[in-house]
Chain A
Amino acid sequence: DGGITQSPKYLFRKEGQNVTLSCEQNLNHDAMYWYRQDPGQGLRLIYYSQIVNDFQKGDIAEGYSVSREKKESFPLTVTSAQKNPTAFYLCASATGGYEQYFGPGTRLTVT
């Protein structure tokens, strides 16, 4: 049963704490992406990775960090430097033709 999993579904953190969101795929895709979705706005790209051990900043990378040690995994860390971290976070992977497949998302609330 192939797909993309994100965990947890809901995450609550206190301001000033770092938090790591999990993203795993078993689709054998090389490329993986992290997006942020806010109400009334389109998805915005945070980071992407085209291959293991390599990743690039997207449009809104400040306050976030990623790693890509395995093809299947692309975790996102939201650091205390991110000024407005409360949002819905979506992970995706893509085929060679750039068709993107999305996970179910993680809703992060920071208070």
Chain B
Amino acid sequence: KQEVTQIPAALSVPEGENLVLNCSFTDSAIYNLQWFRQDPGKGLTSLLLIQSSQREQTSGRLNASLDKSSGRSTLYIAASQPGDSATYLCAVIETGANNLFFGTGTRLTVIP
């Protein structure tokens, strides 16, 4: 069964720093990978979706990469801001499957 791991579980950085969040998955037969943000007590907000044929996607200060062969994805956040503080979740959907497999998330704190 697909397993998705996110390391570290928590990360604190000073404002303005560039940072990378990691996501790994065990089965490379994925259809796509999606990064989400979750604020405390709230639902998930979709940040970026990478199709299996793509290597990366960018949105503003966010850049997500995908390496299917190694089972890894990274989310790069440039010039971090206190408003970026949240839990970041990655999820994969397998080819032919109908649901997402989620990691447990990385809780990011950006210190002013």
Contact = CB atoms under 8 A, between A and B. Distances in A.
6 contacts: A31-B98, A45-B99, A100-B44, A102-B45, A105-B43, A107-B41
B34 A99 contact: yes
Contacts of B32: 97-99
Contacts of A43: 89, 91, 100, 102
B104 A40 contact: yes
Interface of A: 4, 6, 31, 33, 40-43, 45, 48, 50, 56, 58, 88, 90, 92, 97-105, 107
B4 to A, nearest CB: 7
A1 B102 CA distance: 28
A40 B44 CA distance: 16
A42 B4 contact: yes
